[in-house]
Amino acid sequence: MKINERLMADLKVAMKEKQTVRKSVITMLRAAIKQIEVDQRIELGEEEIIDVIASQIKQKKSVIEEFLKGGREDLADEAREEISILETYLPEQLTEEEVKAIVSEAIAETGAESMKDMGKVMGICTAKTKGRADGKLVSQIVKSFLQ
């Protein structure tokens, strides 16, 4: 089932079962997708929708930090719940060991030896882990391998 179809089906279920948080997250996500489609006058494919979901998760994670600084644990918990809902629409996430294997392959492929080569390695790793691993995690692993 395509992500758009799944979003519609899940929205209907959330409305019927009065799951307000799930309903608002799905509505927000569909609005973000629709906004990009209208702005760029295209229909987003699965890859682009995954990118939108990943960017929404990234925004929510940065908001959590701000809420915690402001002493708003309740809002941080709500953002965490929203992230967990959004993550259900992403492909299965890679484990840290799988990411390390991809990074070591990329380093061997590029012949990288120092931090100067991080851009080359990250380019390959990002393409291979797109939507399946957090970019921050990939970056940390690349740094640890190149130091």
Delimit the domains of the chain by residue range: 3-87, 96-146
Amino acid in position 19: Q
Confidence of residue 85 (pLDDT cuts 50, 70, 90): very high
- The model's pTM is 0.82
Predicted confidence at residue 131, as pLDDT, reads 81
Mean of the pLDDT values across residues 113-136? 88
Q: Does domain 96-146 have CATH number 1.10.10.410?
A: yes
Question: For all residues of the chain together, what is the average pLDDT?
Answer: 92
The domain covering 3-87 belongs, at the CATH homologous superfamily level, to Uncharacterised protein YqeY/AIM41, N-terminal domain (1.10.1510.10)
How far is C-alpha 110 from the chain's CA centre? Answer: 26
Report DSSP state, residue 90: S
Look-up of token digits 């719940």: 81
Predicted confidence at residue 112, as pLDDT, reads 87
pLDDT in tens, 32-84: 999 999 999 999 999 899 999 989 999 999 999 999 999 999 999 999 999 99
Coil, strand or helix at 111: coil
The number of residues making up the chain comes to 147
Predicted confidence at residue 20, as pLDDT, reads 96
